Amino acid sequence: MPEQHIDNEKIPTRLIGAIVAVGSLAFIGILTETVMTVLFPALMREFHVDTATVQWITTIYLLAVAATMPISSFLKRRFALKTIFLAAVILAIVGSLVMIVAQAFPLLIVARIIQGIGSGVATPLMINIILEQSPRSKIGRLMGVGSLVITV
């Protein structure tokens, strides 16, 4: 009888929404990271840089993501999840806006750092939300859903 009760645990709609929202932010981060490589030839012409220089656009982004992920535990202890999410979204948007108006290559690098910080917060945040707010019997399923949102 207890196993049947566990299977009937409901996943709150609000939780699904939070997972999709944070997962979408992580997805957009991965998407912009991969899309940038297609833009290399145009960026090289536009900013008069060579291949080794233009590759810093993806390298610096990945470094910012990698440097940000380990501090997510600290951020989670200091701030509410909603505040962290809003900061990540704002950083991603600001980074994108800076990229749109950038007239010099170093400004593109700064924009990618800003974007990377926002994206670096998103994946651990999604995992924290799932682990802390999901019914125990649904954690595996929700981790799958979260991973699906990011990797689609």
Residue 125: inside a domain, yes or no?
yes
Instruction: Tell me the per-residue pLDDT of 17-57, one tens digit each, with 9 for 90 and over.
Output: 888 888 888 888 888 888 888 999 999 999 999 999 999 99
> What pLDDT is stored for residue 68 in this prediction?
94
**In this predicted structure, what is the pLDDT of residue 147?**
82
CATH number of the domain to which 76 belongs: 1.20.1250.20
Q: Is residue 7 part of a domain?
A: no
pLDDT of residue 21: 87
Confirm whether 137 is domain-assigned.
yes
In a domain, 5, yes or no: no
What's the CA gap between 144 and 61, in Å, rounded?
A: 26
Domain count, the chain: 1
Which amino acid, one-letter code, is at 127? I
Can you give the pLDDT at residue 58? 93
Torsion, CA 62, CA 26, CA 96, CA 66, rounded to 10: -20
**Nearest to 25, CA basis, from 126, 132, 148, 107:** 126
Residue 127 lies in a domain: yes
- Whether residue 73 is contained in a domain is answered as yes
Would you place residue 7 in the very low, low, confident or very high pLDDT band (cuts 50, 70, 90)? low
Please tell me the distance from the alpha carbon of residue 109 to that of residue 6, in angstroms, as a whole number. Answer: 49
CB 15 within 8 A of CB 29: no
User: Phi and psi (nearest 5°) for 91?
Assistant: -60, -40
What confidence score (pLDDT) does residue 115 get? 94
Q: How many CB atoms lie within 10 A of CB 9?
A: 11
* pLDDT above 50 for 1: no
Structural domain including 79 reads: 12-151
Q: pLDDT tens digit string along 50-94?
A: 999 999 999 999 999 999 999 988 998 999 988 999 999 999 999
